[in-house]
């Protein structure tokens, strides 16, 4: 038994689209205890010649944007990355992890104006380039076998962390709004009302219909900073990054090709806020990523328990995990230098967060068959007392965009996640004072409205539209 019952505040920061090899593959030398990179891992290139994992040293903007352009992340893309073919694999097939370069080069046909260097998707960062995540991983704990819940895009994996299911949907598009119970609904039913979802520009969690009438729990990231300072942290906090660039404030979600340093700055701020709080000794911070986003990883994901029986004509049965992602566990109850994984049964995945919240707060049975099997984080909290307080502060590398870079970020076309979020914003209440219950009832029976073309032309236009739509939603409460 660990010390989970001594934790009063669970905080989760979920970033975007990075594999474990991409960010933490060089954290420790590869060994039986840490499944990192040896430096010889490779994928075949277009002519069959090997493309080996590599590192570009330094922290200049171009380096910290690798891979650039963005890799593929559709369900079919991930099939190709894992099995070499876009089609669904045969039942029980073992991933070869040899199709990442092949799939990256295939994106050229979709975006002929871009230059897809086969090396880009095989790049990894060193601890010197990601000092915050790496320092916290070494000071506290890192899981070297934490898998995305499904070999799918962002939205399905974020639904898994909240609801332990993707309701049968494997991609962000077409827009879909699952009507499924979430861990937050379970907290409400148990009389635990002090939970919050903190966000920067818009919360992807707004897509879950059973949270629709609980909008007062969605608050700005600035409120997280204030709650930490005033020692008023909720029992469970979930933090979403900034998805759209604003003038002077680029996106910090680390979604390729966003600058990785900006996500490091967000991780540092979250940790520093918690470390300065009087609640620190009874806090557990989980830092993870929704999915790998096409970035190379060498460990084959295993078979998984489907969350529920597949619906008729469902494309994918959700019987496989997605690619490994970074997962760093931070708490004064964690022994320094901990490396952990599950050695039998189901591995760690995003539903381990649900299992941890359920077990800590005693809120009943599992949401689905997936989180019923998921290991929780109790066994990682091995110190008898909260003595690993960690550094007083951590510091990210410096980065600020030049005016030209900031302007270019505003004019960029949207990535798939941003387009999907515009679709979410379109289906929020259209005007202040809207009847939320009527709007919710309509969403349950009417297909989602398509996003207006004008909101999809650039990041600037999308951000403006999303901000207005989200404001209408909150004014309706």
Is the residue at 265 inside a domain?
Answer: yes
| Beta carbons of 224 and 242 less than 8 angstroms apart | no
Backbone dihedral angles phi then psi of residue 51, each to the nearest 5 degrees: -110, 110
400 assigned to some structural domain = no
Q: Residue 178: which of 477, 393, 463, 443 has the closest Cα?
A: 443
For every residue of 377-435, DSSP letters joined together read SGGG---SSS-----S---PPP----HHHHHHHHHSPP-HHHHHHHHHHHTS-SSTT--
pLDDT at 165 over 70: yes
Q: What is the 3-state secondary structure (H, E, C) of 278-337?
A: CCHHHEEEEEEECCCCCCCCCCCCCECCCCCCCCCCCCCCCCECCCECCEEEECCCCCCC
CATH number at residue 31: 3.40.720.10
- Tell me: pLDDT of 118 over 80: yes
Dump pLDDT digits (tens) for 362-375: 998 999 999 999 99
Structural domain containing residue 340: 4-41+127-380
Enumerate the β-bridge partners of residue 64: none
**Can you give the pLDDT at residue 82?**
98
- Is 51 part of any domain? no
Cβ count near 471 (within 10 Å): 12
Please report whether residue 461 resides in a domain. no
pTM check: above 0.95: yes
235 burial type by CB count under 10 A (0-12 exposed, 13-18 middle, 19+ buried): middle
Helix 416-426 / helix 459-475 crossing angle, nearest 10 deg: 30
Tally of domains in the chain: 1
Helix (H) or strand (E) holding 15, with range, is strand 9-15
Is the CB of residue 434 less than 8 Å from the CB of residue 410? Answer: no
Total residue count of the chain as it appears in this document: 477
Q: Residue 332: pLDDT above 90?
A: yes
60-114 tens-digit pLDDT: 999 999 999 999 999 999 999 999 999 989 988 999 999 999 999 999 998 999 9
Which run of H or of E encompasses 155? helix 154-163
Domain-located, residue 160: yes
Distance CA 473, CA 477 (A): 7
Residue 195 lies in a domain: yes
The answer to whether residue 392 sits within a structural domain is no
Could you tell me what percent of the chain has a pLDDT over 90? Answer: 84
pLDDT tens string 215-266: 999 999 999 999 999 999 999 999 999 999 987 789 999 999 999 999 999 9
Helix, strand and coil percent figures for the chain, each rounded to 5: 35, 10, 55
Beta-sheet strands, E only, within 45-113: 50-52
**Per-residue pLDDT, 446:** 83
More confident residue, 443 or 339: 339
Q: In the predicted model, is pLDDT for residue 476 greater than 80?
A: no
């Amino acid at each position: 038994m660990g010390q989970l019952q001594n934790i009063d505040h669970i905080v989760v920061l979920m970033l975007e689209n990075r594999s474990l090899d991409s960010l933490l593959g060089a954290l420790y030398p590869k060994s039986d205890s840490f499944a990192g990179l040896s430096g010889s891992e490779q994928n075949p290139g277009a002519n069959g010649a090997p493309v080996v994992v590599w590192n570009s040293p330094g922290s200049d903007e171009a380096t910290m944007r690798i891979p650039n352009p963005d890799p593929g992340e559709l369900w079919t893309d991930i099939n190709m990355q894992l099995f070499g073919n876009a089609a669904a694999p045969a039942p029980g097939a073992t991933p070869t992890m040899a199709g990442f370069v092949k799939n990256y080069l295939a994106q050229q046909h979709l975006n002929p104006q871009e230059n897809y260097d086969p090396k880009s998707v095989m790049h990894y960062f060193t601890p010197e380039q990601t000092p915050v995540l790496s320092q916290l991983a070494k000071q506290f704990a890192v899981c070297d076998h934490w898998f995305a819940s499904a070999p799918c895009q962002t939205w399905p994996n974020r639904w898994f962390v909240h609801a332990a299911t993707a309701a049968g949907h494997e991609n962000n598009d077409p827009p879909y709004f699952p009507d499924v119970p979430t861990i937050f609904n379970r907290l409400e039913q148990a009389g635990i009302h002090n939970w919050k979802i903190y966000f920067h520009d818009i919360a992807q969690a707004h897509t879950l219909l059973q949270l629709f009438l609980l909008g007062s729990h969605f608050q700005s990231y600035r409120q997280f900073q204030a709650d930490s300072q005033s020692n008023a942290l909720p029992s469970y906090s979930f933090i979403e990054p900034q998805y759209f660039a604003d003038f002077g404030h680029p996106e910090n979600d680390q979604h390729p090709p966003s600058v990785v340093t900006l996500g490091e700055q967000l991780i540092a701020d979250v940790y520093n806020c918690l470390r300065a709080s009087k609640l620190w000794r009874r806090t557990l911070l989980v830092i993870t990523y929704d999915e790998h986003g096409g970035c190379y990883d060498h460990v084959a994901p295993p078979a998984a328990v489907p969350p529920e029986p597949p619906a008729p004509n469902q494309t994918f049965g959700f019987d496989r995990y997605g690619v490994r992602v970074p997962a760093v566990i931070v708490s004064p109850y964690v022994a320094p230098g901990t490396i952990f994984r599950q050695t039998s049964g189901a591995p760690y995945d995003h539903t381990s967060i649900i299992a941890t919240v359920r077990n800590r707060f005693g809120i009943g049975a599992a949401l689905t068959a997936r989180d019923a099997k998921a290991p929780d984080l109790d066994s990682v909290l091995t110190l008898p007392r909260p003595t690993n307080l960690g550094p007083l502060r951590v510091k990210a590398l410096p980065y600020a965009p030049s005016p030209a870079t900031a302007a270019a970020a505003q004019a960029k076309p949207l990535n798939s996640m941003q387009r999907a979020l515009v679709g979410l914003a379109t289906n929020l209440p259209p005007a202040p004072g809207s009847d939320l219950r009527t709007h919710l009832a309509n969403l349950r029976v009417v297909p989602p409205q398509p996003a207006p073309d004008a909101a999809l032309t650039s990041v600037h236009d999308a951000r403006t539209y999303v901000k207005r739509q989200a404001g209408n939603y909150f004014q309706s409460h």
